[in-house]
Structure 1
Amino acid sequence: MPNARDLQPLEVPPGTRALDVLPALRRALDGAGPALLPVAADAPEEAQRLATALSGPLNPGEDAQDDPTALVIATSGSTGAPKGVLLPASSLRASAEATHRRLGGAGHWLLAMPAHHVAGVQVLVRALLAGTRPHAVDTSNGFRPDAFAEAARPLLAADGPHYTALVPTQLSRLIADGGAGLTALREFDAVLLGGAATPPALLADARERGVRATTTYGMSETAGGCVYDGVPLDVARVDVEGDLGPIRLAGPMLARGYRNRPDAEVFAGGWFRTGDLGRFDDGKLEVLGRADDVIITGGEKVAPLPVERVLTEQPGVREACVLGVDDAEWGQAVVAAIVPDPAAEPDVDALRAAVRARLGAAAAPKRITLLDELPLRGPGKPDRRALAAQLTC
């Protein structure tokens, strides 16, 4: 391009005030004005850190006159170092339009998660492209089922399909409350679940209660979810290297690359190498977690996600996170943090036995700790580093 365009921070307020960014977001999608770096308005120190690391004139290769970079989404990935994912307008549109085709048409969207993350901002992008007015949940006192119900009420009164997107923790809270929030949730034509893996037991419970839940798999580098219920969107291609290998994704929803990293090897040949392990099961993609989360214990490799799935299927378990901690005897020991059902705590020995029976002795947690809640990062992923520090204190 003749002159380098600027990447400027866009402060995104929490809750209902997130809708204030819609005009700026529309200009970015139209290629008018600067590219935008969404940052959380209620976390000024983190916002400043990201702005210092990522804002400024875009470099050659980070923009294109015929397809301008609209957003740069900051993500720490699994390393903690800030990376800026360069998303051109075409990628955001391709993702949003493919989502509408999968769900049954453009509709009305309720924002229930932070809009400085890709899952939240895509809710707003979809609404803009649909020509509908989004609504947002008041999160000034955290995510509350009654606030969800209140925000959903006017949106559900509008004609046309109604959609929202949640992280599994939010779904769990709505189901546990069982009140007006769950009643409202049942009225949505689709509820997208992302940000973290959805426990199978939670998904089954939601569907049994009449929630039209759809699991999604994707990341900032794919402009959000691009695999729904194990099946790629019509614009996405999925490849697994070997029988159980890293997942690769391709399609027009892919990011342009990373800010200030023109030679990032994960973007090569039109594919994005995710670093997640997966396999195809009956034609559907099954995601088994991050390759760098695999635990090597006593010479055996244990993927945490299958262990978490077994644990969350057991009575008394609401949430689970499994990780490896340093151990003098085993190299790494498999440990689990469990958020129990307040009404009936699980039997720890029974949990170990269930994992051992399904996945083998190596996968059975050496230690199980009960917590009131899991530490989270981003839109709703368990913070494994914070949890590891907590469990090794």
Structure 2
Amino acid sequence: MIIETGLWGGTVDPPCVLASFERSLNLRPWALAVADSEHQLTYQDLSVWIARITDLLHEAGVRAGDTVAVTGRRSAAIVAAAWAVIGAGATYLPLDTNFPHKRLAYMLAETGAKLLLHTGPDPELPAPRRAQIPAWSDVDRQTGPALAFVPCTPDAPVYVIYTSGSTGNPKGVALPHSCIDNMAHWQRHHSVHQDLRTAQFAPLNFDIWFQETLSTLGGGGSLVVMPEELRQDPIELLDWLARERIERLFLPCVALHMLATAATAFDSLAGLALREINTAGEQLVCTPAIKEFFQRLPECGLNNHYGQSESHTVSAHTLAGPSNAWPALAPIGLPLPGCEILLDTDEAGESHVGELLVAGAPLALGYLNQPELNAQRYVTIPPTAHGHTRAFRTGDLASVDNGVLHFLGRTDDEVKIRGYRVNPLEVEACLGRQPGVVEAICVPVNLGAGSRQLRGAVTVAAGTEFDAAAALAALREELPWYAIPPSISVLPSMPRTSSGKADRAAIARLLAPGDRSAVAADAGER
């Protein structure tokens, strides 16, 4: 391991998210806190609901340090339940009932959840006790219990979420107050205003749900729960954003691309009140559609966030200047306050290029019940310039250029063609600029005998005929010969993982020699 000093975000002493909510309640008791299709709740209303759910937790014997699972459709009730669980000093475990019963049962068993709160019908999951979240209409708003949060400590876990595991079982990751307080505090002060009207878009078991919810309600803003049916309908989503006067939006990169593409069908975007969009999840490619979208929304900024489930938000970059001048591959920017970013240059063999390590405030407590994995990923390092001796190995390859961090892909996806290192993201950015291309992916495929070759795949707009020869000619004008895929395949749709990212392994299988499910255009011999 060769650790190279990277970037430092500076010192920080953020308040607890619970104290931030109490401040919003004291300063803006009658301001709108959260809205869904059935509720319009002020901060005072929300505090009463939280207090009633907290009372239910106490009746069920929940104490600080216990785990409480919560499930149901995204709603004001889920928001209230989450604040109640965190405010009671318990660890919040969000469960998506769309997941298989066996998977959810595993999560409940591994965390030792003491209680399962739910909206709607009883999900009949194996928990020691299950209880329905009290409906707002049943809450006593006059003589109910007063809101009383427990004091929080930096090492106390706020929530546990699960990511995919290599053994077949998901991996639970516990995030403490030191991480979540820091993230929420930074987000409030990084946004154009703290009290923005924010869409609640993320699924409740995604870490971005906490960024949306905790930063908004800790800053006196209004959280508006997006109807679930809009997730796959960007045209209707644009109408809803305008109708609800949404000012801040958190979107995965793929959803931002869908939204920007859909916006081309609108003669005017004047009805939108958007002031900022924050995106994360994978490399942000500033496609022509995205550049045009922000050109038509000059009052709206775009922020590219980088992080993992194991550390939440680590760094961020704001795209500045005219959107038509933005780089195709957006940087991941500068570390958050309290975060130190390091590079392990041992494998890369190049200065300022290496595996990205995270130290400082963003770190999770670790994986649940996985000591070997914790030892591999949460490593002990020599004391850094800022005194850190523990870091998380992200598995991401990155570089530092003029003090700015750039994402180069996964270390285990590093591609070398005939001895030359190739960044597939650079190839994808070039392909994505070609006429008619909606999405572009470049992956290596195995040819046997240890040989690999690049393959390109695109999806194209309806009614568009993809000109592969012209696309390949454009690649040759911008990229070195070894980065040119010998063929580009047109796919009817891009395979995706459960989190919505392009499934590169599945795409590589589709493009492997002998597969005839994609229409390929040959680049010809060089």
Q: Which category of TM-score, normalised to the shorter sequence, fits these structures?
A: 0.7 to 0.9
1:231 aligns with 2:334: yes
Give the match's secondary structure for 1:183. Answer: coil
Cα distance change on mapping 1:206 and 1:239 into 2, 3 Å: farther
Instruction: State the TM-score, normalized to the length of structure 1.
Output: 0.84
8 Å CA contact retained: 1:340, 1:346 = yes
Aligned to 1:247: 356
d(CA) in 2 for partners of 1:169, 1:66: 34
2:365 maps to a residue whose letter is R
Deviations, residues 56-113 of structure 1 (Å, cap 9, x unaligned): 279xxxxx96642121121127887522221013311210110121123312210223
Return the offset for 1:155. Answer: 4.4
Return the offset for 1:126. Answer: 1.7
Aligned to 1:306: 426
8 Å CA contact retained: 2:235, 2:262 = no
Return the offset for 1:186. Answer: 4.8
Alpha-carbon RMSD:
3.1
Give the match's secondary structure for 1:200. Answer: coil
Aligned to 2:234: 145
Matches within 5 A, 1:189-208: 189-201=275-287, 202-208=289-295
Matches within 5 A, 1:323-362: 323-328=443-448, 331-362=451-482
1:304 maps to a residue whose letter is P
**Looking at CA atoms only, which structure, 1 or 2, has the larger radius of gyration?**
2
Give the match's secondary structure for 1:271. Answer: strand
Aligned to 1:267: 378
Cα distance change on mapping 1:265 and 1:150 into 2, 3 Å: same
Percent identical = 27
Aligned to 2:156: 68
Aligned to 2:83: 26
2:446 maps to a residue whose letter is D
d(CA) in 1 for partners of 2:270, 2:283: 23
d(CA) in 2 for partners of 1:381, 1:109: 23
Question: Mean alpha-carbon deviation: is it higher for 70-79 or for 84-93?
Answer: 70-79
Deviations, residues 290-339 of structure 1 (Å, cap 9, x unaligned): 11112233343323222212211222222112212211366222112211
Instruction: State the TM-score, normalized to the length of structure 2.
Output: 0.64
Cα distance change on mapping 1:135 and 1:323 into 2, 3 Å: same
Deviations, residues 155-197 of structure 1 (Å, cap 9, x unaligned): 427xxxx311112222222222225798378521110011222
Return the offset for 1:52. Answer: 5.7
8 Å CA contact retained: 2:179, 2:364 = yes
Cα distance change on mapping 1:274 and 1:42 into 2, 3 Å: same
Aligned to 1:61: none
Give the match's secondary structure for 1:207. Answer: helix
8 Å CA contact retained: 1:102, 1:233 = no
Q: How many residues align?
A: 378
d(CA) in 1 for partners of 2:463, 2:364: 45
Matches within 5 A, 1:106-125: 106-107=194-195, 108-125=197-214
- Which ranges in structure 2 are unaligned for 5 or more consecutive residues? 1-62, 115-151, 319-332, 345-350, 380-388, 516-526
Give the match's secondary structure for 1:254. Answer: coil
Give the match's secondary structure for 1:373. Answer: coil
8 Å CA contact retained: 1:9, 1:36 = yes
d(CA) in 2 for partners of 1:187, 1:321: 32
